[in-house]
Chain A
Amino acid sequence: MQTIDLEATGLREMNSALQAQAKDTNQTAWEIVNPRGAHAIAVGLDAPIDVAVRGSTGYYCAGMNKQATVRVDGSAGPGVAENMMSGTVVIEGDASQYAGATGHGGTLVIKGNASSRCGISMKGIDIVVHGNVGHMSAFMAQSGNLVVCGDAGEALGDSIYEARLFVRGSVKSLGADCIEKEMRPEHLEILAELLERGGCDAKPEEFKRYGSARQLYNFNIDNAY
Chain B
Amino acid sequence: MAKDDSSAPRTEPIQSWTFSKNINAEIRRAAATGIYDIRGGGAKRRVPHFDDLLFLGASISRYPLEGYREKCDTRVTLGTRYAKKPIELDIPVTIAGMSFGALSGPAKEALGRGATLAGTSTTTGDGGMTPEERGHSKKLVYQYLPSRYGMNPDDLRKADAIEVVVGQGAKPGGGGMLLGQKISDRVAEMRNLPKGIDQRSACRHPDWTGPDDLEIKILELREITNWEKPIYVKVGGARPYYDTTLAVKAGADVVVLDGMQGGTAATQDVFIEHVGQPILACIRDAVQALQDLDMHREVQLIVSGGIRSGADVAKALALGADAVAIGTAALIALGDNDPRWEEEYQRLGTTTGAYDDWHEGRDPAGITTQDPELMARFDPIEGGRRLNNYLKVMTLEAQTLARACGKSHVHNLEPEDLVALTMEAAAMARVPLSGTDWWPGKPGTGF
Cβ 8 A contact of A220, one of B35, B156, B216, B225:
B35
Which residues of A have CB within 8 Å of B25? none
Given A101-B207, A143-B192, A219-B179, A12 contacting B224 (CB threshold 8 A): no
Q: Is the CB of B220 closer than 8 A to any CB of chain A?
A: yes
Q: Which of A177-225 contact B (CB under 8 A)?
A: 217-221
| The one of A12, A46, A218 that contacts B223, using a Cβ cutoff of 8 Å | A12
Which of chain A's residues has its CB closest to B180's CB?
A: A218
Inter-chain contact A102/B225, CB cutoff 8 Å: no
Tell me which residues across on chain B come within 8 A of A142, comparing CB atoms.
Answer: 191-193
Interface set, chain A 95-112, CB cutoff 8 A to B: 97-98, 101-102, 104
A123→B227 CA distance, assembly (Å): 27
Chain B residue at minimum C-beta to C-beta distance from A218: B198
Q: Determine if B208 is an interface residue (Cβ-Cβ < 8 Å).
A: yes
A185, B34: Cα distance in complex, Å: 43
Bits for A105-127, please: 1 = Cβ < 8 Å to B, else 0: 00000000000010011011000
Is A79's CB under 8 angstroms from B152's CB? no
With known contacts A59-B220, A121-B206, A140-B200, A44–B225 Cβ distance under 8 A: yes
Q: Does A162 contact B (CB under 8 A)?
A: yes
Q: For A221, give its contact among B34, B148, B151, B223 (CB under 8 Å).
A: B34
Interface secondary structure of A, over-half rule: loop
Cβ < 8 Å to A, chain B residues 211-266: 213, 216-217, 219-220, 223-227
Which of B194, B223, B224 gathers the greatest number of chain A CB atoms within 10 Å?
A: B223
Do A40 and B223 have beta carbons less than 8 Å apart? Answer: yes
Find out whether the CB atom of A66 lies under 8 angstroms from the CB atom of B153.
Answer: yes
Is A166's beta carbon under 8 Å from chain B? no
Which size bracket describes the interface of A in this complex?
A: 35 or more
Contact A43 B198 (CB under 8 A): no
With A85-B152, A143-B192 as contacts: A102 and B206 at CB distance below 8 Å: yes
Per-position contact with B for A129-140: 1 when CB-CB < 8 Å, else 0?
A: 000000000011
Q: Across the two chains, which residue of chain B brings its CB closest to A162?
A: B194
Q: Is A83 an interface residue (CB 8 A)?
A: yes
Complex alpha-carbon distance, A159 and B206, angstroms = 14
Q: Known: A83-B148, A85-B152. Contact between A161 and B220, CB under 8 A?
A: no
A58 CB within 8 Å of chain B: yes
Looking at the assembled complex, report how far the CB atom of A96 sits from the nearest CB atom of chain B, in whole angstroms.
Answer: 10
Is residue A94 contacting chain B, with contact meaning CB distance below 8 A? no
Report Cα–Cα, A143/B180, bound state, in Å.
18
Decide: A43 and B223 in contact? CB cutoff 8 A: yes
The answer to whether B153 and A64 have CB atoms under 8 Å apart is: yes
Give chain B nearest CB distance to A148 CB in angstroms: 18
Nearest CB of B to A223, in Å: 10
Residue of A nearest to B227 (CB): A12
- Distance (Å) between the CB of A138 and the closest chain B CB? 11
Q: Nearest Cβ in chain A — how far from B29, in angstroms?
A: 13
User: Which residue of A59, A66, A124, A221 contacts B213 across the interface (Cβ within 8 Å)?
Assistant: A59
> CA A42 – CA B157 in complex, angstroms?
16
Would you call A102 and B223 a contact (CB within 8 A)? no
Most buried by A among B148, B194, B219: B148
- Asked whether B153 lies within 8 Å of A102 as measured between CB atoms, the reply is no
Interface contact A64-B192, CB-CB below 8 Å: no
- Give A43-79 interface residues, CB cut-off 8 Å to B: 43-44, 46, 58-60, 63-64, 66, 78-79
CA distance A124 to B320 in the complex (A): 44
Among A46, A120, A218, the residue within 8 A (CB) of B153 is A46
Q: How many angstroms between the C-alpha atoms of A142 and B147 in the bound complex?
A: 11
Whether the Cβ atoms of A43 and B224 lie closer than 8 Å is yes
> Cβ of B36 < 8 Å from any Cβ of A?
yes
B151 touches A79 (CB 8 A): no
Q: In chain B, what residue has the closest Cβ to A217?
A: B197
When chains A and B are docked, how far (Å) is the Cα of A85 from the Cα of B154?
10
Distance (Å) between the CB of B198 and the closest chain A CB?
5
Contact, CB under 8 Å: B219 / A120: no
B 149-189 contacts with A by CB, 8 A: 151-153, 156, 177, 179-180
Quick check: is B202 within 8 A (CB to CB) of the other chain?
A: yes
A60: which B residues are within 8 A, CB to CB?
Answer: 207, 216-217, 220
Contact present for A11 and B207 (CB under 8 Å)? no
In the bound complex, how far is the Cα of B152 from the Cα of A46, in angstroms? 12
The CA-CA distance from A63 to B225 in the complex, in Å, is: 12
B216 cross-chain contacts in A, Cβ below 8 A: 39-40, 58-60
Q: When chains A and B are docked, how far (Å) is the Cα of A121 from the Cα of B223?
A: 23
Min CB–CB distance A161 → chain B (angstroms): 6
Chain B residue nearest to A98 in the complex (CB): B207
B223 touches A219 (CB 8 A): no
Within 8 Å of chain B (Cβ to Cβ): is A28? no
The answer for the CA separation of A101 and B177 in the assembled complex, in Å, is 21
Contacting pair A123 B198 (CB below 8 A): no
CB pair A83 B192 closer than 8 Å: no
B77 to chain A, nearest CB (A): 23
User: Is A170 located at the chain interface by the 8 A CB criterion?
Assistant: no
A162 to B199, CA, bound (A): 13
Which of A43, A120, A139, A159 sits near B220, CB closer than 8 Å?
A: A43
Most buried by A among B192, B206, B207, B216: B207
CA of A64 to CA of B213, assembled, Å: 17
Known: A12-B223, A59-B220. A123 touches B152 (CB 8 A): no
Interface contacts beyond A102-B151, A140-B206, A142-B193: sample of 6 additional A-B pairs, CB < 8 Å, sorted by A = A60-B220, A64-B153, A83-B152, A140-B200, A218-B197, A219-B198
Residue numbers of A with Cβ under 8 A of B are: 11-12, 15-16, 19, 39-40, 43-44, 46, 58-60, 63-64, 66, 78-79, 82-83, 85, 97-98, 101-102, 104, 117, 120-121, 123-124, 139-140, 142-143, 159, 161-162, 217-221
Pairs A-B, 8 closest by C-beta atoms: A44-B224, A98-B207, A79-B207, A102-B148, A217-B197, A101-B207, A64-B153, A123-B192
19 A-B pairs (CB sep. < 8 Å): A15-B223, A16-B226, A19-B226, A44-B224, A59-B217, A60-B216, A60-B217, A60-B220, A63-B220, A66-B153, A83-B148, A102-B206, A104-B152, A121-B148, A121-B202, A123-B192, A217-B180, A218-B180, A221-B34
